[in-house]
Structure 1
Amino acid sequence: MISKTKRFARSVGVAIAATAAVTMVMPTSNAFAIDHVECRGGENFLKIWSHLDGRTSVDCYANKGRTGFGSWWVDRISTGNNDLIYYDANGDSVRINRWTDITFPNHPPRVKDIEIL
């Protein structure tokens, strides 16, 4: 009987230790991933008009996170319901608040990364 009790106690101890180890390793904050999504009318996504080497693009993004933008020249940004930081090729970061529509007709920034806050 004593050996069964010791085995049970040891099993419980191992289970508690394993649970504690997993709890300590898991991240404590919510995980978010920015998503490149299909642009649709009526949605409040981040929308960016850009160009590079004779090509033009219109891209939409949703959800919190940061992603590379490929150093494209940005002509217009509509933030929708997203707060945005863009990181340009000069190393600057620029914050644009939600519900903002901004154009860059003469001196567009060359954007390396974008981040939805």
Structure 2
Amino acid sequence: MFSRTKRVVCSLATAFAAAIAFTITVPSGHAFAIDRVQCVGGENFLKIWSHLDGRESVDCYANGGTTDFGSWWVDRISTGNNDLIYYDVNGDSVRIDRWTDITFPNNPPRVRAIQIV
């Protein structure tokens, strides 16, 4: 009887230790990282028109996450099916809801980072 109890206790201890090890080593939830993607017509990506030092750029992004935007001046943002927060160089953050197309013709923000939420 004692050896059977000892085996059960050892089995439970081993299972508990394995569960703890699994919990510590496997991250919880889904890990997403924002990605710059090719701008494709008909897709609902985040699309940003920007300029800096005489250069112009049009960039598209997908997936949730945050990325550096290099302090470029933003002329236009089309959020597609993404909610966006941009962080300007002055420390402010601005949220723009999905399905919004906004232009900044007179006073464009200088954006330090963007986040798809």
Give the TM-score category using the shorter length: 0.7 to 0.9
Q: Normalising by structure 2, what TM-score?
A: 0.86
Partner of 1:74: 74
Q: Which sits farther off after the overlay, 20-29 or 84-93?
A: 20-29
Segments of 4+ in structure 1 off by > 4 A? 6-12
Partner of 1:42: 42
SS at match of 2:90: coil
Q: Percent identity?
A: 73
Q: Normalising by structure 1, what TM-score?
A: 0.86
Which sections of structure 2, spanning at least 5 residues, go unmatched? none
Partner of 1:58: 58
Q: Which amino acid aligns with 1:55?
A: R
| 1:9-49: CA deviation from partner (whole Å, max 9, x where unpaired) | 75774454133123144332321111100001000000000
Which sections of structure 1, spanning at least 5 residues, go unmatched? none
SS at match of 1:30: coil
Q: Which amino acid aligns with 2:109?
A: P
SS at match of 2:19: helix
Q: State the shift of 1:64 in Å.
A: 0.7
